[in-house]
Structure 1
Amino acid sequence: MWTKTFRSDSGDTYVDHKRGLWLISLLIPMMTLLGPFGYLMSGNEWVLAIPIVVFYGLIPLLDKIIGEDTSNPPESIVPQLEADPFYRLITFLLVPMLVAGFAFTAWFAVNQPLSTWGWIAVVVNNGFLCGYAINLGHEMGHKTSLYERWAAKVSLSLAAYGHFNVEHNLGHHATVATPEDSASSKLGESIYGFFWREYPGAFVRAWRLEAKRLSRRKQSTWNWNNEVLQSVIVALVIYGTIVLWLGIEVLPFLLATALWGGFQLTSANYIEHYGLQRKRMDNGRFELCKPCHSWNSNYLLSNWSLFHLQRHSDHHAYPMRRYQSLRHFDESPQLPAGYYTMFLLAYCPPLWFKIMDPLVLKHAQQDLERVNVLPQKKQLYEAMIQRA
């Protein structure tokens, strides 16, 4: 179970050494519960900070120690790799684990005598869990299987972000790395400015895209086939059940958790395409999305904990590929660290700009026509290029 050897008809052989690690990766999102369980055993509120230290401290440190993995499975092996139900089972197992963890943390928040600091720490921890749920929904929501798509809706609804599947699949993937995309950050744009553009914009665009899709089918926007409405209903059922169980006093905790969970998605979107832009062709359209239009990261530990989300270049170039077969491309721009580290950098805009802006301009070969730049800062970067 821990490894498996795949052989193709052409004679290629591939040993998946990460096979067993994918199963263990189920435990990573559940580390958000270390704080609440530690508090129940010790009564010490400071243990609620353990998950925060793990995700923002320990994992970045281990990323640097363990290093990167740039290996790819042979293309002749990919059909077997993606047909293996083991990898799909892992994602299905994680859905009820996340729902149970979410419900337990909500119970904990309203039944323990927490200080304001302790309450905020639990919100942050549960928001991390919601971030993992969104990542899982992202992986499953791209698939054609009805079971996986509904599992994605449940997972995304923990953060009240079920509209993501529509906006991401029909919107973001179509306009990624262009000024038209609300989920692609611009050179010179802080994560906080990006949040106010991307977070509410995602729901508005999802609704418009779904209304357009239903209109083409000559169906009313207000019917059960509206996937945005389906997701809203799933979220209301989950949140409503928890409110009926724990009382109305749990609602502020749920809303704060959803907001921080959504900010985890904003953080990922922000770093994944920062400043990158597809070339506009003579016909006015943008070139097809290529691996060079997404920031990539091959740090083994954080990639393993996020179902290869950090191999984002391959995902956008080939969105139907499953996580176990996503590849590294040499032409993809590389982030200087894994996502957990890059999140922290993004939360400090001056430090982010200092590190990432030169990398964006280098990748674009100092050509602002190849950069998705914040319009009000274009002159600043023109002057920066002239000085270089």
Structure 2
Amino acid sequence: MNSSGEAHWQDPKRYLWSLGLLVPLLPIFGALIYVQTGQIWGWWLAPVIVYFIIPALDYLIGTDRSNPPESAVSQLEADNYYKYIVYAYIPLQYAGTLITVWFAATELGALGIIAGLFSCAYVNGIGINTGHELGHKRDALSQFLAKLALAPVAYGHFYVEHNFGHHRRVATPEDPASSKMGESFWRFLPRTVIGSLRSACEIERQRLDRKGLGFWHWRNDVLQAWAMTLILFGGCTAVLGWPALAFLVVQAALGSSLLEVINYVEHYGLLREKDANGRYERCLPKHSWNSNHIVTNLVLYQLQRHSDHHAHPNRAFQALRHFSDSPQLPSGYASMMMLAYFPPLWFKVMDPRVVAHHRGEFAKANVHPSKAEKLKMYFTSSQNGVSA
């Protein structure tokens, strides 16, 4: 019992959340295996686990729709254990990255470098989710660490764009990080990369302008985050030469694409409606695709409970809830991002779910303009099929 006389709720997954820390250890395991055996296969562990083992475990172990009681939320959010798990990712992330960069620049051949690239890319790509979790916190340390987690993938502008752009415009045609029905991932990728970068710079320019400061002021959060990347990349280049820079640039591109394929999955075809005054309705659980697959949620700080995250952005990962009215993905993110790489398969699986979620009403979907006529016919035929 606590001081108020209420029973102390125990999180059944409390210690399982630390499994996410195995991810940044993978490049370190790769280096140890190489030192011991001279073989590079250890650096392939990260992509194999991300693309094959986690989806298989999601399928075998299944989902968990249970929620913590509302009375336990303050208790969960006050428990520093969860915060320290997130913090711990970052030193392990940097250790694995720096060790792999050193081997790639000094010892590894072409195949070893490729293996190291994928290993670092997936650890640092998942590290963006660490930056995402910390970026929603209000204390200065968490915000600093959020930028630090984003530095290895040169995606520091995400800190600004996600919190002050994406969360405001999510599930609208104006949001570069919300994918449209009929839009393939490969068409979405350049749109979101360029659009998010422009948005972050404009958001920060406006913020600094309100303070009477110019864009190039040292208090610019985008420039601060990019400076961390310059220090990391520049330091490695100074010590290890240009091969280290080339390695870091390529793994950054691969790692940031991991974020963007998740962005593609999270809001595909979903649209917030406008009221009579032309204002978008408040973001609700129905505006994000949700998944309760246990293994991916443990690795990604329950990012798959994305519906609750957007409805309540400041809620800590351990307290996020399942909502019965949120649209559900057929599998976890690890499986869905693989599907997204193959547009015909993605459309076959997800388009019927978009139609069903919007109850066959074409006007309620966020549709790519170039596919509007074709998809309007698809909605109509789907409605006729249901009514028949």
TM-score of the aligned structures, taking structure 2 as reference length: 0.95
Q: Map of 1:1-388 to 2, 5 A cutoff?
A: 9=4, 11-115=6-110, 117-388=111-382
1: distance between equivalents of 2:94 and 2:183?
A: 34
- Which deviates the most, 16-25 or 195-204? 16-25
2: distance between equivalents of 1:184 and 1:260?
A: 20
2: distance between equivalents of 1:186 and 1:7?
A: 48
Unaligned runs of 5+ in 2: 383-388
Deviation at 1:130? 1.0
Deviation at 1:381? 1.0
Deviations 1:287-338 (A, max 9, x none): 0000000001111111001111111111100000111111111111111111
Deviation at 1:35? 3.5
Aligned-residue CA RMSD (Å) = 1.5
SS at match of 2:146: helix
Deviations 1:174-231 (A, max 9, x none): 0000000000000011111111001122111101000001111222222111101111
1: distance between equivalents of 2:28 and 2:267?
A: 31
| Alignment size in residue pairs | 382
Deviation at 1:164? 0.5
Is contact 2:131–2:147 with CA below 8 Å preserved after alignment? Answer: yes
Is contact 2:40–2:115 with CA below 8 Å preserved after alignment? Answer: no
One-letter amino acid of the structure 2 residue matched with residue 374 of structure 1: H
Deviation at 1:13? 4.5
Is contact 2:31–2:99 with CA below 8 Å preserved after alignment? Answer: no
**Does the C-alpha gap of structure 1 residues 316 and 382 become closer, same or farther in structure 2, counting only changes over 3 Å?**
same
2: distance between equivalents of 1:254 and 1:25?
A: 23
Deviations 1:35-64 (A, max 9, x none): 343333333344433322221111111111
**Does the C-alpha gap of structure 1 residues 33 and 354 become closer, same or farther in structure 2, counting only changes over 3 Å?**
farther
1: distance between equivalents of 2:291 and 2:282?
A: 21
Deviations 1:136-157 (A, max 9, x none): 0000001100000000011111
1: distance between equivalents of 2:3 and 2:344?
A: 50
- Which deviates the most, 23-32 or 342-351? 23-32
One-letter amino acid of the structure 2 residue matched with residue 40 of structure 1: V
1: distance between equivalents of 2:343 and 2:3?
A: 48
One-letter amino acid of the structure 2 residue matched with residue 99 of structure 1: Y
1: distance between equivalents of 2:293 and 2:322?
A: 11
**Does the C-alpha gap of structure 1 residues 36 and 313 become closer, same or farther in structure 2, counting only changes over 3 Å?**
same
**Does the C-alpha gap of structure 1 residues 40 and 350 become closer, same or farther in structure 2, counting only changes over 3 Å?**
farther
Is contact 1:7–1:14 with CA below 8 Å preserved after alignment? Answer: no
Is contact 1:12–1:76 with CA below 8 Å preserved after alignment? Answer: no
2: distance between equivalents of 1:122 and 1:101?
A: 10
Deviation at 1:132? 1.7
2: distance between equivalents of 1:55 and 1:135?
A: 14
One-letter amino acid of the structure 2 residue matched with residue 170 of structure 1: F
One-letter amino acid of the structure 1 residue matched with residue 306 of structure 2: H
2: distance between equivalents of 1:145 and 1:346?
A: 36
Is contact 1:12–1:77 with CA below 8 Å preserved after alignment? Answer: no
One-letter amino acid of the structure 2 residue matched with residue 56 of structure 1: Y
1: distance between equivalents of 2:124 and 2:23?
A: 13
- Which deviates the most, 15-24 or 137-146? 15-24
2: distance between equivalents of 1:41 and 1:335?
A: 42
**Does the C-alpha gap of structure 1 residues 47 and 20 become closer, same or farther in structure 2, counting only changes over 3 Å?**
closer
SS at match of 1:25: helix
Identity level (%): 45
Unaligned runs of 5+ in 1: 1-5
**Which residue number in structure 2 is paired with residue 3 of structure 1?**
none
